[in-house]
Amino acid sequence: MRKRFEFQAEKADSKKRLEDFLFERFENLSKMYLRDAVKSELCEVNGRFENRGYRLRANDFVEVEVDPARETAMRPQDIALDVVYEDESLAVINKPSGMLVHPTHAEKNGTMLNALSHYLNHEKGDKAFTRAGLIHRLDRHTSGLIVVAKTPRAHRVLAGHFQRKLVDKRYLAVVDGVVEADAGTINAPIGRFVERKYWDVNEDGKHAETRFKVMERFASATLLELEPVTGRTNQLRIHCAHIGHPIVGDVDRGGSPFLRMCLHAWKLAFWHPDGSRRLEFEAPVPEVMTKEVLQG
C-alpha cells in the first residue's frame, strides 16, 4: 500500500538530483521503482511534478507516494563475493555461474545485488547506505567480471561509457565442434519471437555483431574468445549456435550437456569515472570449463 512522505531539502541537498535525493531516503527501494514513481507523477517538488534530473534547492518541499514494504533488490544477505577491485566509486566482481545478478519476480534472494547490499554496508553503522548501481548484466549461467557503481555520479558516467562503446568486454566460451576459421565476425540480427517468448536470429530483429578468435582447439570442442560489438539479449549464445557451434552446456540452444554453461566474462577494461586512468581486469577461465574437454 502506498504511503505519502514529505521532506524538506536542506542546504547540503542543494544542486542534488531529485532521484539521488530519493535514493538516499528510501534505501530499501530499488532505483527503478523510485524512478517509476517520479515518471508516474507520484512525486512533487513545491507542488509541481518534476523529472528525476531536477536539481534541488535548499528548502524545496518534496512529496512522494511509495510503498515502503515493496520487495526490492536491496535486502542485504551475507553471501560470499569474489571482489576483484574496489574503491570509493565502484567495485568489480567476479560473479560465479548460477548466481542471478538481481532479483526477479520469481526469485528475491541469493542474488549478487543482495550480496552487495550486505557487503557494502554491514560495517558502516549510521553512515549513509551505499546502493550498488547496475550498469551492465551477465546471464545467470555466465560467470565473470561485472562492474557496479557505488555512487550516483559513477553510475551515470559509467553508463555513458557503455552507451558510447568505450568499454572493452571479452568472453571465453567452450563451444561444440572444431571451429575451422582462426578468427571471424558473426553478423546476424537478433529479435524476440513473441509467441515463443524466445530470443533468436530474426530477420526483423536488431543488428547484432560478434567477433571471435580461436584460442585453442580440442578433439571435439573449441575455446573461443568472443567480443560483443553490439549488446543484444543472449547475443553470444545465439550467435555461437547460429554458426553451428553452440556453447557447451547451453542445452536450450543445442549445446552438449555439461555441469554449467561454458561462457565466462574474462576481460573488462574501462575508464575510471573520475577520468584519471584506464582500468583493466582479467578473471582466468574457470578450470571446470576446460577440464573435461582437455581430458577428452
pLDDT tens-digit map of 97-109: 999 998 777 787 8
User: Is the confidence at residue 75, as pLDDT, over 90?
Assistant: no
Task: Assess if residue 138 is contained within a domain.
Answer: yes
Q: Both 62 and 136 in a single domain?
A: no
Question: Which residues does residue 64 pair with via DSSP β-bridges, in sequence order?
Answer: 5, 43
Is residue 76 domain-resident? no
The predicted structure's pLDDT at residue 270: 97
Mean pLDDT for all residues in the chain? 90
Domain termination site, one of 143, 166, 189 = 166
| Residues 31, 91 share a domain | no
Beta strands, E only, the chain:
3-8, 43-45, 48-49, 61-66, 83-86, 90-95, 133-134, 143-149, 168-176, 183-187, 190-193, 198-201, 209-217, 221-228, 263-271, 278-282
Residue at 232 is within a domain? yes
- Of 124, 150, 166, the position where a domain reaches its end is 166
Q: What is the pLDDT of residue 72?
A: 60
Residue 275: inside a domain: no
Query: Domain check: are 130 and 155 in the same one?
Result: yes
pLDDT number for residue 74? 66
pLDDT band at 140 (very low <50, low <70, confident <90, very high): very high
The answer, yes or no, to whether residue 73 has pLDDT greater than 60, is: no
Say what the pLDDT of residue 292 is.
Answer: 62
Q: What average pLDDT does the segment 225-248 reach?
A: 96
d(CA 206, CA 217): 31
CATH number of the domain within which 12 lies: 3.10.290.10
Is residue 54 scored above 80 in pLDDT? yes
Domain identity same for 178 and 259: yes
The interaxial angle of helices 18-25 and 31-39, nearest 10 deg, is: 130
For the residues 231-237, what does the mean pLDDT come to?
93
Catalytic residue, from 13, 20, 60, 139: name it.
139
Assigned domain for 123 exists: yes
Are 216 and 160 within one domain? Answer: no
Concerning whether 67 is annotated as a catalytic residue, the answer is no
Residue 185 covered by a domain: yes
DSSP 284: P
User: CA-CA distance, 182 to 269, in Å (whole number)?
Assistant: 24
The pLDDT of residue 71: 58
- 207 pLDDT higher than 70: yes
Q: How many residues does the chain have?
A: 296
Mean pLDDT for 121-126 is: 72
108-137 mean pLDDT = 84
Is residue 296's pLDDT more than 60? no
Q: How confident is the model at residue 124 (pLDDT cuts 50, 70, 90)?
A: low
**What's the confidence (pLDDT) of residue 136?**
92
Do 143 and 200 belong together in one domain?
A: no
Choose among 263, 270, 278: nearest CA to 144.
Answer: 263
**Residue 125's pLDDT is what?**
63
Domain with residue 229: its CATH number is 3.30.2350.10
In a domain, 278, yes or no: no
Amino acid 195: pLDDT:
80
Q: How many domains does the chain have?
A: 3
Q: What is the residue range of 110's domain?
A: 83-166
Q: Is the domain of 52 the same as that of 101? A: no
Using an 8 Å Cβ cutoff, are 224 and 175 in contact? yes
pLDDT tier at 289, thresholds 50, 70, 90: confident
* 213, three cell numbers: 578468435
pLDDT at 132: 84
Residues 156 and 174 in one domain: no
Query: How far apart are the two ends of the chain, measured CA to CA in Å?
Result: 58
| Same domain as 89, residue 14 | no
pLDDT value, residue 186: 97
Q: Tell whether 175 is covered by a domain.
A: yes
Based on the fold, state whether residues 198 and 162 are members of the same structural domain.
no
**Under DSSP, is residue 180 helix (H, G, I), strand (E, B) or coil?**
coil
The mean pLDDT value for 250-263 works out to 95
pLDDT band at 27, cuts 50/70/90? confident
111 and 172 share one domain: no
Q: Do 192 and 247 lie in a common domain?
A: yes
